[in-house]
Structure 1
C-alpha cells in the first residue's frame, strides 16, 4: 500500500540536465522531492529540484552523499558511474533503479546487441571489429554500405560513421575511438524509425503508444504519435519493446528506438535506460508523462495510464549558428498563442550548435491529422529565433 506523508520521499538523481528538470517537475505533484547531482553549477534541473550537489558523475563521495540524503536513486544520464552506484547501493541499502548493471548493456553497444540477439530480440546484423582488416571483412559479410559505430561514448549520432569499400577504414576507426572500440552494423533500409517508451514497474510493465521519429544529421528533430504506420506494425513494435524489458534489470522508464523494415518487421536500434527525448510528447499528449512514470516506477508505486489524449507532434529546439553564446530566444509569441501548442525551455545558460535547448509540442485540438500537427510543430519551431 502506498502512503504519502509530509515530508515525502526523496529521489536522488545522478544528472541534472533537461531530463532531470522534467523529472523534478513531474515528481512535485506526487509529493516527491528531487535531489540532483551534476557538475554544472545551477544546472537545468536545479530550479525545480529541492537541492543540487555540484560534483562529477563519477565522484564516489558525492554519489554516497546523494544516497545518504535520498530514499531512492536513479540516473538521467548514461555517464553515471555503474561501479560506484552498485557499491553505494550495497553499502547504504538505498535502492537504485534501473539497476546499475543495466548500464553495462548501455555503455557498450556491442554488449547490448549481443544480449538482445541472445534473447531472441530482433536486431540488425553486426560484427565486432578491431582493425581495418576486420572492417573490410565485416563489409564482405554484411554488405556495403554499413554503419561503423563506437561501442562506447557515442550519443545523438556521434560515433556513427557510414563506411564502404572505398572508405579509409583506419581513419574511420580512429574517428570512432580507435581499435577495440568499434562494431560494424548492417545498413538498415528502413521505412521509418519508431520508438516506444516502455516502463518496468514493481508489479508489471506498461508502454506508451508507438511514436515515429524524424532524424536529420543523426539527431532527433521531431516525434509524431501515433506513428504513421499500420496497426499491425505498431502492435509488433510494442511487443518487441516489451520483450526488451526482459533483458534489462530494474524498474523505470526505458526509451527503445526501433526500425520498421519494408516488410513490416521490427528490429531494435538502441536503448536508453531513462526517459528519452522521443517521449517528451507524453507530457501533454498522454494521460501520464514518461517522467511521472519513471518516478512512480523507481519508487515502486503503481503505474499510471499511458493512453493517448490525442494525436501529438513534438519538435526539438536546437541551437543554431557556429559558436557558443548566452542562451536566449525571441519571437515566442506564435507558440504561446497557438491552440494546442506547448513550449518547453530547458533553462540552459549557453546555446551551442545543435544543442537541445527546448521543444515544442502540438496536441490535436480539432480534426488535425498527425501530418498537420507535425507541419504545425515545424512551423512554430522554425519561427523561433536564437538571439
Structure 2
C-alpha cells in the first residue's frame, strides 16, 4: 500500500470519545476520518471530516464507509465482526480479533489455549453449571455476561445461585470466573504494526464500582512485575490478529499477573498517553492500521489521568469549573462533547504530570475535583 500520509481516509465504526480522539490524532497527519454512528452529531463530529448516521451493523452504511475509506477500524465492540469481514476495504484490527474479544468465553479460551495466564473460569448456561462452578472455583464468583458488557455492566459478584438468578434473570450465556484477590489492577496498551509490535509502559488503574476512575503511569509496582506484565502483553498481541492498539487489562498478584480482559481498540487506561507519551495511543492506532511506522511508546515522565464522570439527574451537559481545573499546574482537560450528562457517564478526563507519580496524581485529582456539572 502506498503511503496514506497525507491524503488518506480512515473509516471508523463508532463516533464516541474514542472516535473523537482518533480524529484529533489523524488530522495532523493529513488523514481524514469518517465515522459511522447512530447518534446524529456524535462526539467525534467536530474533528471528523464526516459522519454516516446509521446503526453500527447497518450493511449498506458499512459498505458506504468502506467505499470512502482506505482502511476501516472500529472504536466500539458493538461493531459487527461478520459485517466487517465482508467489506471491500482492509479492516484492522482483524474482525476475528473483535469476534474473540467480544465474547468473554471465547476470549478466555483463546488466551488459555495460547498458554497465557487467566483466572480459572467455567461456562454457564443453567443453574447446574453455576452450582458446578461454585464447587470448582469457590464462592463468591465473578459472573460476566459473555457479550455486551462494559464499565461494569453485565458483571456481578455472586455468592449463591439465587443471588446470580436475581441479578441476571437468565443464566444463559455467562462466564463464571474465580474471584481474584489481586494486589492492584494494571494495564498495558499493546500495539501491532505491519511487521513490528511494541507496548506502552505498564500502568496502574483505580476502579470503583468497576468503572475506571484513575490511571497512574508508570505503575507503582516492582520491576519484576513490570517486566512480567510487558511480557504477557506482548504474548497477548501474538494471540490476536491485525494491526492496531489493544487495551490489555491485568491483575497483579503474588508477583505474577493474570489477563483480565482485552479491548481491540484504544482504551480508557491509555488516555494518559496524549500528554504523557511521545506518541499517543490514538496516533499509534492511526499509524498502525494505516500500515505506517510505529511511534515511540516511551513515557515523557510520570503522568496521571482522572476520569470526569457524570453526576446528578440526566440533563443537558454544562460544565463548570474549567478555569479552576486549568489553573492546576500541568493539567490538561479533554471534554468529549456529549450532549447529555447522566450518572457515571464518561464525560471527559484530565491529565497532569509531575516529577513523581504522587505529584502527578495529586494534580490530576485536584483538576478533576474542580469540575462539576451545572
> For the residues of structure 2 that align with 1:159 and 1:106, how far apart are their CA atoms?
15
Q: Secondary structure at the match of 2:153?
A: coil
- Aligned residue number for residue 362 of structure 1: 352
Q: Is the 8 Å Cα contact of residues 130 and 179 (structure 1) preserved in structure 2?
A: yes
Is the counterpart of residue 10 in structure 1 residue 9 in structure 2? yes
Q: Is the 8 Å Cα contact of residues 353 and 359 (structure 2) preserved in structure 1?
A: no
Question: Given the alignment, which residue of 307, 312, 316 partners 1:316?
Answer: 307
Q: RMSD in angstroms over aligned alpha carbons?
A: 1.3
- Aligned residue number for residue 65 of structure 1: 64
Is the counterpart of residue 185 in structure 1 residue 180 in structure 2? no
Query: Aligned in 2, Cα 1:264/1:167: closer, same or farther, shift over 3 Å?
Result: farther
Q: Is the 8 Å Cα contact of residues 2 and 301 (structure 1) preserved in structure 2?
A: no
TM-aligned CA deviation for residue 103 of structure 1: 1.4
When normalised by structure 2's length, the TM-score is 0.98
Unaligned runs of 5+ in 2: none
- Aligned residue number for residue 32 of structure 2: 33
When normalised by structure 1's length, the TM-score is 0.94
Question: Given the alignment, which residue of 293, 312, 326 partners 2:284?
Answer: 293
- Aligned residue number for residue 115 of structure 1: 110
> For the residues of structure 2 that align with 1:111 and 1:28, how far apart are their CA atoms?
36
Q: Secondary structure at the match of 2:73?
A: strand
Is the counterpart of residue 215 in structure 1 residue 202 in structure 2? no
Q: Cα deviation per residue 1:269-295 (whole Å; 9 max; x = unaligned)?
A: 000000000000000000000000000
Q: Secondary structure at the match of 2:86?
A: helix
Aligned ranges 1:138-287 → 2 under 5 Å: 138-165=133-160, 167-174=162-169, 178-261=170-253, 263-287=254-278
> For the residues of structure 1 that align with 2:163 and 2:303, how far apart are their CA atoms?
43
Unaligned runs of 5+ in 1: none
TM-aligned CA deviation for residue 179 of structure 1: 2.9
Question: Given the alignment, which residue of 335, 353, 366 partners 2:343?
Answer: 353
Q: Is the 8 Å Cα contact of residues 194 and 211 (structure 1) preserved in structure 2?
A: yes
Is the counterpart of residue 96 in structure 1 residue 83 in structure 2? no
Query: Aligned in 2, Cα 1:37/1:166: closer, same or farther, shift over 3 Å?
Result: closer
> For the residues of structure 1 that align with 2:141 and 2:172, how far apart are their CA atoms?
18
Q: Secondary structure at the match of 1:101?
A: helix
TM-aligned CA deviation for residue 3 of structure 1: 4.0
TM-aligned CA deviation for residue 81 of structure 1: 1.3
> For the residues of structure 2 that align with 1:317 and 1:374, how far apart are their CA atoms?
14
The number of aligned residues is: 374
